[in-house]
Structure 1
């Protein structure tokens, strides 16, 4: 299946979740992330700021900020950079209506110990389908050496994703199923 069709199908599946199910799935994922050894060991964690329908990162960021240094992405042209935040007050609406950091310190890719990554679909080899702009794949090629964790719902799994030489697999996927 081509990636564009897969994106469409997964967006529809996400929209079909009831608010109660969505909340329960997000609580399970949050618990797994907070107890994950790579997260507990990390000094600096990169994390996306979620949009409606994505695995919710607002509670995650709020809890992680109490113990860790957190950086979030900002799109600049065709590239994405990560900036350290100290609270949600460091964010304002930016590219694609995503909350992005402003007046924050840029964090180099090699400084980030662990990255929490959004996705629309994933496969058994931890390849992901994102939104199609390639921001994360390009960012991971910039001397990023940290551990890459995709955050997903189990229904986003597919048997195989056709990938090219630019696609970067994740180290692991965390979803709501035990």
Structure 2
């Protein structure tokens, strides 16, 4: 199976999730991240926002809980730089307006939000379709996170959030594919560093 076939398989697995099931899985992932943060306090947390209508992990559940339980944590979210494969990162506060990108992703208005450089991040939560037992992820294929993650400080944990358990191996890995430090799924956590 190649990456395209694996990507299609996991997109189908997501499509069939009922809304209540997606909420339950997303809530379990939020609990896992909160437990991690109890043991590894971080001040600046990068989190992705879910694409509208794509059954992605609902990170809004985590964001809401962090705002109540850990208000000292500064939340940062990405924005695709138009016409490129690059990400910019902005502080997410309740006052920051969100615009919907052409991919259906809520993104901060760059004119109304404070930009944060990758070197200023303490933890990155990474979106993915699937991951493997060696810590490699399968995304949508644009390479946005593969370009972004090396810009972070080497010691910054890069943790994937997955709705499903790992596959044995992501096929067709390339030199630019970045290994995660950990991945959280609703039923278990995996660590590679």
TM (normalized to structure 1)? 0.92
SS at match of 2:103: helix
Residues 72 and 83 in structure 1, CA contact (< 8 A), matched pair in contact too: yes
Looking at structure 1, the residues matched to 76 and 143 of structure 2 have their Cα atoms a distance apart, in angstroms, of 19
Q: How many residues align?
A: 177
Instruction: Give 1:47's aligned residue.
Output: 47
Q: Give me the CA root mean square deviation.
A: 1.7
Alignment pair present for 1:110 and 2:112: no
Alignment pair present for 1:75 and 2:80: yes
Instruction: Give 2:16's aligned residue.
Output: 16
Label 1:14 to 1:105 Cα distance change in 2 as closer, same or farther (>3 A): same
Residues 27 and 62 in structure 2, CA contact (< 8 A), matched pair in contact too: no
SS at match of 2:159: strand
Match of 2:58 among 38, 41, 56: 56
Alignment pair present for 1:176 and 2:186: yes
Alignment pair present for 1:85 and 2:87: no
Superposition deviation, residue 95 in structure 1: 3.8
Tell me which stretches of 4 or more aligned residues in structure 1 moved more than 6 Å: none
* Higher mean displacement: 3-12 or 58-67: 58-67
Looking at structure 2, the residues matched to 137 and 153 of structure 1 have their Cα atoms a distance apart, in angstroms, of 20
Looking at structure 1, the residues matched to 129 and 15 of structure 2 have their Cα atoms a distance apart, in angstroms, of 12
Instruction: Give 2:26's aligned residue.
Output: 26
Superposition deviation, residue 86 in structure 1: 0.8
Q: Which runs of 5+ in 2 are unaligned?
A: 189-193
Higher helix share goes to which structure?
1
Alignment pair present for 1:138 and 2:147: yes
Residues 80 and 139 in structure 1, CA contact (< 8 A), matched pair in contact too: yes
Q: Which runs of 5+ in 1 are unaligned?
A: none
Superposition deviation, residue 88 in structure 1: 6.6
Instruction: Give 1:2's aligned residue.
Output: 2
Superposition deviation, residue 110 in structure 1: 1.3
TM (normalized to structure 2)? 0.85
Label 1:147 to 1:95 Cα distance change in 2 as closer, same or farther (>3 A): farther
SS at match of 1:149: strand
Alignment pair present for 1:129 and 2:138: yes
* Higher mean displacement: 89-98 or 23-32: 89-98
